Chain A
Amino acid sequence: MLSRTAENLFWLARYIERAEYLARTIEATLRATALPSAYIGTTNEWESALATAGAAQGFHARYETADERSVVEYLSFSPDNPSSIRSCIDSARLNSRSVRTALTGEMWDTINSGWIELQSAWSGRLRTRDQLTAFLRFVQEISLRFDGSAYRTMLRNDAYWFSRLGVHLERADNTARILDVKYHVLLPDKEHVGGPLDYYQWTAILRSVSALTAYRWVYRDTLKPWLIADLLILNDTLPRSLASCYGNLVRNLDRIGVAYGRQGPSQRHARGIRNRFEQSRMDDIFQRGLHEFIQEFLADNARLGDHIVTQYLS
């Protein structure tokens, strides 16, 4: 397939994944900030929402303080923010238009009708909480429909695999960003039982990767920071964990390698990261420093993106 087509599919999937992640981040932040400060603490949750979205710098170039109104506006609709939900959907639609031949009708319809609805129904500012919640659900549904229609309708060939690479690379990046911003509340302190403050911080983290219920099923335990870290990093049954993303990245890169009869730096690099997850235990990671681990991972993940671009997309 054309390199440009593969590139478009890869980015299309990333934009949609990112839009969903932003929607979930805003949702989780709305929930957290609705609590009395005795429960959630005095940290500015909107500030950390910006940080997990990687949008703090751009935001502060335009706004003074991070509050609900300004952050929601910036993360959802701002055309000045190249990673706002709206910009993501716009870019996804533009990418889809140029690679329509590589998309199934159902996938195109998801993106195009989502984009049309965004233009018409959600064009103005959202005045009420109700409208905002409905909007955030609408964004997550686009992503679900997109993923579902890709899964159900696409041929299992390189077009599908490149689009999966986009999903999992972006997903891993998003999960790692939350960990990067919130790692301090996850540091194990065996003496510390965890007051209400921590509890609501932890649930906010789990919610933003839609893993609160999953936690209970996996560990059948009360919330423990090291288990939360384990779930998000090493547990490959959770679709948004770093380990699961890398399992998928390796699988899809291998399929491409087999189909093209050739392996390259992308395959080797992804396998290296996956192996590290397989051989790591949470204790070791904490020992070596959770924050360092996450930062290293973010850089590694970005490097895989570069390898994919050099090997296939240019």
Chain B
Amino acid sequence: MGIAFDEMKGAGEAIRPAYQELSRWLAELPPDTLEFRRREAELLFRRIGITFAVYGDAEAQERLIPFDVVPRIISANEWRVLERGLRQRVQAINMFLRDIYHGRDILRAGLIPDELIFRNPVFRPEMNGQAVPHDVYVHIAGIDVVRVGPEDFFVLEDNARTPSGVSYMLENREIMMRLFPDLFARHRVAPVERYPEELLATLGSVAPHASSTEPTVALLTPGVYNSAFYEHSFLADKLGIELVEGRDLIVRNGEVLMRTTEGMKRVDVLYRRVDDDFLDPLTFRPDSALGVPGLMSAYAAGNITLANAVGTGIADDKAVYSYMPDIVRFYLGEEPILKNVPTWRCREDDDLAYVLDHLDKLVVKEVHGSGGYGMLIGPAATQAQIDSFRDRLKHDPANFIAQPTLALSTCPTSTAAGLAPRHVDLRPFVLTGRDRITVVPGGLTRVAMQQDSLVVNSSQGGGTKDTWILHEDI
């Protein structure tokens, strides 16, 4: 792994244009200001209640995600490319899902092996032939992008199920505007505040055909103990829709109804933040108390839109990921704008042999893992860790993929020892409605707070930054 690209300093000594104003401002800043503001921000987060739960950590039931007050800046030019790439990718993902659950042209063309789809636990046979309004499967996508050079953006992961983090995009901005009005005045930062409105319009546009002119949208949460509950309540509030739990809903005569103080009320669109497995105990896990019995039958009857659709996991599966460039070419006849990280599929013998020989240099991930769990970062691992991982890998190669360790770009970050470069990634959010795709200029920047660490996941101590997309070219 080479030396990481720094988004402020670039390769040489000169400050990159997008960061010049920030760099001047940082230089003028009285000492301790950043630390002082960081504490102020933390207090605000705590009071607003922007916390998340960490599973298996009884001590810290509610934790704050560390917030770094130094913004991450992306120039208008860079964003234009990113945005085009994101639209292209999400469009292809939706076409891929439509195809997988209907004609399966891509399988017949031999581009993807059948068993990768049909033996995949996230493939949902219930969705075969099921129509979804306007063929939109992934209404909300969070695409994880990393940068390794001035022009080099890679998609690290497509999150097509129930991506979270958008509340941080919005709240980080609110808090930054409160803490640093002066710094905003010196930049032209594209606003992100329209996101809730765009999301509501997106969800409303995909209501079932039969529904009334004013569709009722609700957000389905697993409940107050879910790690992302704050985000669920935040979004429901901003969208002005009911935040429902499974126990608030019943299915009657093929319709989904919510229990209100005035009796039962029909729901047309469910922005569900509950995983497929827990949606309907009659169809999926029978022990789930989070879901709604009969929901899938109402879905099959076309009486409710689920956003995202059921079965989208087959598109963000890490093994399918490696085929994304082919998927883009196949459906759109275009070259992918955003690159994929080179990926070895351990299910294939040659790749497996290569990976086993280079474990100390690669990142090996479980195909269905998430949150940074169950992965091996070769260069940072001990020999013992590598050896035990090798056994797991040999035992079930199809369950793993491997990628080179990327030198994720760094951004100046406020640390105990002053400003220092820390590795970052970016999760922009892409909305797909009936007739348009919307990408709000911004996203969630996650930052590895530990020196040299590449793990940005909040469940593992990663932090966040406000992400600024400059409105004009510099």
Q: Which residues of A contact B (CB under 8 A)?
A: 1-6, 94, 97-98, 100-101, 108-109, 112-113, 116, 158, 162, 256, 260, 312-314
Contact = CB atoms under 8 A, between A and B. Distances in A.
A97 B260 CA distance: 19
Contacts of B229: 97
B213 interface: no
B262 A260 contact: yes
B47 A101 contact: no
A94 B224 contact: yes
Contacts of B223: 98
Contacts of A98: 223-224, 233
Given A98-B224, A162-B261, 5 more contacts: A2-B259, A3-B248, A97-B224, A101-B237, A260-B261
A2 B244 contact: yes
A178 B258 CA distance: 40
Interface string B223-251: 11000010001101100001111011000
Interface in B259-298: 259-262
A313 B236 contact: no
Given A100-B237, A158-B261, A260-B261, A2 B242 contact: yes
B49 A97 contact: yes
Nearest to B258: A2
Contacts of A3: 248, 259-261
Contact of B248 (A2, A113, A116): A2
Contacts of B49: 97, 100, 108, 112
B245 A4 contact: yes
A134 to B, nearest CB: 21
A80 B242 CA distance: 34
A3 B248 CA distance: 8
A256 B261 CA distance: 10
Contacts of A100: 49, 233-234, 237
Nearest to A4: B248
A260 B261 CA distance: 9
28 contacts: A1-B260, A1-B261, A2-B243, A2-B244, A2-B248, A2-B261, A3-B259, A4-B245, A4-B248, A4-B259, A5-B242, A94-B224, A97-B224, A97-B233, A98-B223, A100-B233, A100-B234, A101-B233, A101-B237, A108-B49, A112-B47, A112-B49, A113-B47, A116-B47, A162-B261, A256-B261, A313-B261, A314-B259
B47 A109 contact: yes
Contact of A2 (B47, B48, B233, B260): B260
B252 interface: no
Nearest to B241: A101
Contacts of A314: 259
Nearest to A311: B261
Nearest to B239: A101
B207 to A, nearest CB: 20
A98 B237 CA distance: 12
B190 to A, nearest CB: 26
Interface of B: 46-49, 223-224, 229, 233-234, 236-237, 242-245, 247-248, 258-262
Contacts of A108: 49
B42 to A, nearest CB: 12
B261 A116 contact: no
Nearest to A112: B49
Q: Which are the 3 A-B pairs with shortest beta-carbon distances?
A: A101-B237, A100-B233, A98-B224
Contacts of A313: 261
A213 to B, nearest CB: 35
Contacts of B259: 2-4, 314
A98 B234 CA distance: 11
A4 B247 contact: yes
A260 B263 CA distance: 10
A5 to B, nearest CB: 8
A181 B276 CA distance: 55
Contacts of B258: 2
A1 B233 CA distance: 15
Nearest to B245: A4
Nearest to A158: B261
A4 B48 CA distance: 22
Nearest to B262: A260
Given A2-B259, A158-B261, A101 B236 contact: yes
A94 B61 CA distance: 12
B116 to A, nearest CB: 40
Contacts of B236: 101
Nearest to A259: B262
Interface centre among B234, B242, B261 (most CB of A within 10 A): B261
A297 to B, nearest CB: 26
B435 to A, nearest CB: 29
B46 A116 contact: yes
A98 B222 CA distance: 11
A175 to B, nearest CB: 27
B203 to A, nearest CB: 16
A94 B262 CA distance: 25
Contacts of A2: 242-244, 248, 258-261
Contacts of A256: 261
Nearest to A98: B224
A163 to B, nearest CB: 13
B233 to A, nearest CB: 4
Contacts of A109: 47
Contacts of B48: 112
A94 B225 CA distance: 10
Contacts of B261: 1-3, 6, 158, 162, 256, 260, 312-313
B323 to A, nearest CB: 40
Nearest to B221: A98
A7 to B, nearest CB: 9
